[in-house]
């Protein structure tokens, strides 16, 4: 519990974009409530020509209420089309452009678009007799350039830019909390101002909040240059930035390519599946947004103030869910993101089912209790996405989701509005059965990702495990491939080493069955052991074509091991085994590497890790192991420069099913046979001009 409290305190100190989200949501949700009342009044009095007395007391006039709600639902559909059709296309450019130039400028722009919307509302209040379609023209159209879906894309991408993976799930939950807290805050304050002072005062209030939000975001949020030491963006003119934003071909191609490209460990399938859960989750949110006010007015005859009270109750529970339960699930219970998301959507399924059939106040409030984890599901989904995607591609991947999210309000708004219009007179809650079905589908997808891909291993970063004996056994079993390949020349003579040959019964059995020398004792942590092994190997094979450094250890805290709590002694231990050990082996065995052969040989392969790559590090943590493997990669590069007649390569074997890889009940996707065969193929086809670089077991180069 103390860990959870400390985590919450740390998040509170670092809030920035969360305040922007709160202010923006306050404007959007709060003004929406007043807008719905304005729309209902325009439809009743000025379109259907009912008297003001009838329209002020719709509860007592069922026919007038049904007629007004049907017409209002239709205008809601028009409003949705107007507000969200432009973001469908804008989202594609936003992700690609903000990956290069930062999220801040467009976040600020969204606030000024919201301000323009409120001004449009004031125009409609001034001319009450105008057709309600002008609400869309004067208010929804300006908002379409900074619509809610675009704002979501920007703030979630920004938060991923400024957080580590360890912080991200909790921090995203807090962001969702601020985002959803804006709804009751806007509703409560807006309703009070409206009932006391009328429409104009309420919309002026939201104009002021929009202005404050824009100024705050411009002051508090960090620009691209502040988030990165790269100053290239500062040298680009505004005209060039605009040109890049409007570069349709590059934006679309690069964005979709980044999302759908093949990724290791089924990460592409995870990305697609979790992206779909986000869309499924948004469908009820946007659909209900267009009919919820009308439903509560119809079913319970609640006033604007009563609806705002209910909204406040519901969001208060969401605050408890995000602030208290999420840290407990994640930090104390150490639940995987998919488990948290799965529980959340299951509760939402029950909530919407209850909401659909609710006929009393307590049933509506009970559905609110079941809704308390609603802010969590999107947070964990975006957290998973941010952990399986490289930072430089995150905005593009969010843009594809944002593009799809921009379509959702249009489809959901039309569907929910039309279903509500068709059922309002006999079963107004029918529309919420659509929501129930959506949450059921999301539950299935979370279960699929959790059990099919074992999400915990995806979220903590791409990991590998190496046990020298088991991996070497697989290499020996792949020996028939070597014999068939003339390029390997003397590779049929394989010499295996391990720390304790007497205990390596399986290894010795394989060696014996293949007519090979018994395993030789070699502990890379012991320099005398290296010298003794060299003496034995030299007698068995006076010349070597290839030397494979396979030994490696992980820290006791693997895979957590953040920088803030890394043990210096443990880091030194890993450095001695993972870096100094291979260096001493190479120094000792260098005299018998056959320099007379030509082509790719002699060769030294250092089994390293993707975790040692700077550019691929999007997850953080695993500090001691990462640093040791980064050093091994540099050692490999140095050797290629200092001894250019030898081919050196650092090899990432994948996340392998070994003792290390499978520790803590993890389930690596790569078998030892697959890894060994892939490495053998890589080394067989490896070209000398690639010496000193890092490759994975599939033969793909990894950026340093």
Over residues 446-494, the pLDDT tens digits come to 888 877 654 334 333 333 333 443 334 344 434 433 333 333 333 457 8
The torsion angles phi and psi of 241, rounded to 5 degrees, stand at -65, -40
What span, in angstroms and rounded, lies between the C-alpha atoms of 552 and 463?
13
The torsion angles phi and psi of 548, rounded to 5 degrees, stand at -110, 115
pLDDT digits (tens, 9 = 90+) for 321-362: 777 887 788 777 777 778 888 888 899 999 999 999 998 999
The torsion angles phi and psi of 455, rounded to 5 degrees, stand at -55, -30
To the nearest 10°, report the CA torsion of 369, 372, 373, 374: 110
What span, in angstroms and rounded, lies between the C-alpha atoms of 1 and 173?
17
pLDDT digits (tens, 9 = 90+) for 507-558: 778 777 777 778 888 888 888 989 998 888 888 878 888 899 988 888 776 6
pLDDT for position 231: 40
Domain parsing of the chain, residue ranges? 16-222+240-459, 468-696
Which residues, listed in sequence order, are joined to residue 649 by a DSSP beta bridge?
605, 693
pLDDT digits (tens, 9 = 90+) for 572-596: 988 999 999 999 999 998 888 866 5
pLDDT digits (tens, 9 = 90+) for 625-672: 889 999 999 999 999 888 888 899 999 988 887 766 666 666 677 787
Find out whether 332 and 436 touch, Cβ atoms under 8 Å. Answer: no
Which residues have a Cβ under 8 Å from the Cβ of 373 and sit 6 or more positions away? 318, 321, 325, 343, 344, 347, 348
Q: Give Cα separations from 478 to 320, 413, 468, 474 (angstroms).
A: 56, 59, 16, 6
| DSSP letter assigned to residue 518 | P
| Short-list 23, 30, 22, 16, CA closest to 210 | 23
- CA 82 to chain CA centroid, nearest Å: 29
pLDDT for position 288: 87
- CA 601 to chain CA centroid, nearest Å: 43
Strand arrangement, sheet containing 603-607: 546-549, 603-607, 647-652, 693-696
Angle 273-276-277 (CA atoms, 0-180°, nearest 5)?
A: 90
Tokens describing residue 91:
């989202």
What span, in angstroms and rounded, lies between the C-alpha atoms of 511 and 317?
64
Query: pLDDT higher for 401 or 228?
Result: 401
What span, in angstroms and rounded, lies between the C-alpha atoms of 679 and 477?
13
Q: Give percent above pLDDT 70 in the chain.
A: 77
Which residues have a Cβ under 8 Å from the Cβ of 493 and sit 6 or more positions away? 516, 541
| Short-list 439, 389, 127, 402, CA closest to 265 | 389
What span, in angstroms and rounded, lies between the C-alpha atoms of 102 and 389?
18
pLDDT for position 437: 92
Query: pLDDT higher for 187 or 619?
Result: 187
What span, in angstroms and rounded, lies between the C-alpha atoms of 6 and 428?
46
What span, in angstroms and rounded, lies between the C-alpha atoms of 190 and 28?
11
pLDDT for position 599: 53
Please tell me the class of the 468-696 domain: alpha beta
10 Å CB burial of residue 182 (0-12, 13-18, 19+) is buried
What span, in angstroms and rounded, lies between the C-alpha atoms of 22 and 175?
8
pTM of the model: 0.50
- Indicate if the pLDDT at residue 154 is higher than 80: yes
Please state which architecture CATH assigns to domain 16-222+240-459: Up-down Bundle (1.20)
């Amino acid at each position: 519990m103390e860990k959870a409290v400390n985590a919450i305190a740390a998040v509170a100190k670092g809030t920035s974009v969360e305040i922007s989200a709160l202010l923006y949501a306050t404007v959007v949700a709060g003004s929406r409530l007043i807008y719905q009342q304005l729309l209902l009044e325009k439809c009743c009095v000025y379109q259907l020509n009912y008297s003001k007395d009838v329209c002020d007391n719709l509860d007592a006039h069922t026919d007038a209420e049904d007629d007004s709600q049907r017409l209002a639902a239709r205008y809601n559909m028009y409003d949705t089309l107007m507000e969200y059709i432009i973001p469908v296309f804008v989202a594609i450019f936003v992700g690609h452009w903000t990956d290069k130039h930062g999220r801040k400028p467009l976040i600020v722009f969204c606030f000024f678009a919201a301000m323009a919307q409120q001004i449009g509302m004031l125009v409609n209040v001034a001319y009450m007799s105008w057709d309600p379609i002008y609400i869309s023209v004067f208010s929804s159209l300006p908002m379409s350039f900074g619509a809610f879906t675009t704002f979501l894309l920007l703030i979630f991408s920004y938060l991923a830019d400024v957080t580590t993976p360890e912080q991200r799930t909790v921090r995203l939950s807090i962001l969702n909390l601020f985002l959803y807290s804006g709804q009751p805050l806007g509703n409560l304050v807006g309703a009070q101002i409206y009932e006391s002072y009328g429409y104009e005062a309420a919309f002026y209030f939201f104009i002021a909040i929009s202005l404050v939000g824009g100024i705050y975001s411009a002051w508090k949020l960090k620009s691209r240059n502040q988030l990165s030491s790269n100053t290239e963006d500062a040298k680009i003119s505004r005209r060039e930035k605009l040109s890049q934003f409007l570069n349709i071909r590059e934006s679309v191609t690069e964005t979709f390519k980044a999302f759908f490209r093949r990724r290791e460990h089924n990460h592409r399938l995870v990305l697609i599946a979790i992206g779909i859960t986000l869309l499924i989750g948004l469908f009820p949110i946007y659909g209900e947004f267009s009919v919820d006010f009308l439903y509560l007015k119809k079913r319970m005859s609640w006033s604007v103030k009563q609806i705002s009270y209910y909204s406040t109750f519901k969001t208060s529970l969401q605050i408890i869910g995000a602030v208290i339960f999420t840290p407990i699930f994640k930090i104390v219970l150490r639940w995987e993101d998919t488990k948290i998301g799965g529980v959340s959507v299951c509760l939402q399924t029950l909530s919407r089912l209850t909401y659909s059939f609710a006929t009393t106040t307590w049933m509506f409030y009970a559905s609110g209790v079941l809704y308390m984890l609603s802010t969590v599901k999107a947070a964990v989904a975006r957290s998973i996405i941010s952990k399986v995607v490289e930072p430089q591609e995150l905005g593009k991947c969010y843009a594809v989701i944002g593009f799809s999210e921009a379509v959702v309000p249009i489809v959901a708004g039309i569907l929910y509005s039309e279903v509500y219009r068709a059922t309002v007179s006999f079963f107004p809650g029918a529309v919420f059965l659509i929501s129930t079905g959506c949450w059921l589908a999301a539950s299935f997808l979370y279960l699929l990702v959790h059990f099919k891909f074992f999400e915990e291993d995806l979220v903590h970063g791409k990991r590998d495990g190496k046990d020298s004996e088991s991996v070497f056994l697989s290499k020996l079993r792949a020996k028939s491939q070597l014999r068939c390949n003339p390029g390997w020349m003397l590779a049929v003579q394989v010499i295996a080493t391990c720390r304790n040959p007497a205990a390596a019964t399986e290894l010795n059995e394989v060696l014996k069955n293949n007519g090979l020398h018994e395993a030789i004792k070699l502990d890379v942590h012991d320099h005398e052991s290296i010298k003794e092994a060299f003496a034995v190997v030299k007698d068995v094979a006076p010349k070597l074509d290839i030397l494979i450094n396979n030994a490696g250890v992980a820290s006791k805290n693997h895979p957590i091991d953040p920088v803030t709590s890394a043990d210096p002694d443990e880091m030194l231990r890993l450095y001695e085994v993972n870096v100094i050990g291979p260096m001493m082996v190479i120094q000792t065995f260098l005299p018998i590497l056959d320099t007379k052969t030509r082509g790719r040989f002699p060769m030294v392969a250092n089994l390293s890790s993707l975790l040692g790559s700077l550019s691929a590090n999007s997850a953080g943590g695993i500090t001691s192991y990462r640093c040791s493997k980064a050093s091994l990669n540099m050692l490999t590069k140095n050797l290629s420069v200092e001894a250019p007649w030898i081919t050196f390569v650092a090899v990432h074997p994948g996340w392998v099913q070994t003792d290390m890889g499978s520790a803590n009940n993890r389930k690596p996707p790569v078998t030892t046979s697959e890894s060994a065969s892939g490495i053998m193929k890589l080394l067989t086809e490896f070209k000398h001009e690639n010496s000193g670089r890092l490759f994975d077991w599939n033969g793909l180069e990894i950026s340093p």
